[in-house]
Amino acid sequence: MPPFAIEDEPAALLYLITLTAGLLDGDAQLIELLARSGTRSVVTGQAATRIHPAADSFCSQQWEVAVEDDSILVVLPGPAIPYRGCRYYQRGRVELAPTGRVIWGDIWLAGRYQRGSLSERFVFDRIVQDFEVRRSGRLLYRDRFRWDGPWSTSDVTWHFGGELASGCLYASGPIPESLPEPGPGLRQAIFPLDAGGCCVRWCGEPSRVTAALVQTALQIAAEWTDGPGSPPWLLQSSDLAPNHWFSTPPGGSSGT
């Protein structure tokens, strides 16, 4: 869709629209993004990424992203919902100019878990993540994994802390001196990186993981543009309709 320019907000909001029910066996999507010099933008999907069962092959989503100088780009693909027996490959390549910055946030869910006896918790076949960020050709960050399912209880404990959602946020620049403390039932870990920037990971209840990731991403972006203590991008606006990214988790404990 055309980008939304929201009054008194420094960043434009761009929704990517998928016209089908999700990613089916054999589907292959390529998303190419170019953030021009001086732009401020948030790119996300209008719905979660539903990954349907694989009959013969797999589905894939590949991102080619370039961020020019003095540009800040926030990319929030997903959240990803793996259906029973699905196979999915996600590949991301981000190239930063010397003063370009990116924030990338992934959320992985257990599957369609609120279905009673038909629940599909961690019964995917295979999920592969292959994500890299480079600045002027130099590798800054790499996140690669291959998950083979279905998972046992011990697998879920190892990868998701026994929870239904896991979130990972990469930021290519400095982060605030203090990030919001994780709420009840939410675990958070912060990893400063030698190449600058940081990685933040969460596990917990899906809506709380989503809220924490979005709040952190847009808070970091705001401090990059307007300094410490600045309100997060977009979240103070009354022009956003609630959806999977911009909504309130149970108990209303978050500003998202």
What is the pTM (predicted TM-score) of this model? 0.93
* Number of neighbouring beta carbons within 10 Å of residue 70: 16
Q: Please state the length of the chain.
A: 256
Specify burial of residue 60 (Cβ count, 10 A radius: 0-12, 13-18, 19+).
middle
- The C-alpha atoms of residue 64 and residue 32 are separated, in whole angstroms, by 5
133, 67 in Cβ contact below 8 A? no
- Token pair of 120 as six digits: 């599909």
Cα distances from 25 to residues 21, 48, 91, 169, in angstroms, run 12, 17, 17, 28
What local confidence, expressed as pLDDT, does residue 6 receive? Answer: 86
> Strands 198-204 and 187-192, how do they pair?
antiparallel
What local confidence, expressed as pLDDT, does residue 110 receive? Answer: 96
Identify the segments of the chain with pLDDT beneath 50. Answer: 252-256
What local confidence, expressed as pLDDT, does residue 255 receive? Answer: 37
What local confidence, expressed as pLDDT, does residue 238 receive? Answer: 72
- The C-alpha atoms of residue 183 and residue 204 are separated, in whole angstroms, by 10
- The C-alpha atoms of residue 243 and residue 6 are separated, in whole angstroms, by 17
What local confidence, expressed as pLDDT, does residue 247 receive? Answer: 66
What local confidence, expressed as pLDDT, does residue 254 receive? Answer: 40
What local confidence, expressed as pLDDT, does residue 117 receive? Answer: 77
- The C-alpha atoms of residue 164 and residue 148 are separated, in whole angstroms, by 17
What local confidence, expressed as pLDDT, does residue 139 receive? Answer: 96
What local confidence, expressed as pLDDT, does residue 188 receive? Answer: 95
What local confidence, expressed as pLDDT, does residue 119 receive? Answer: 83
What local confidence, expressed as pLDDT, does residue 177 receive? Answer: 81
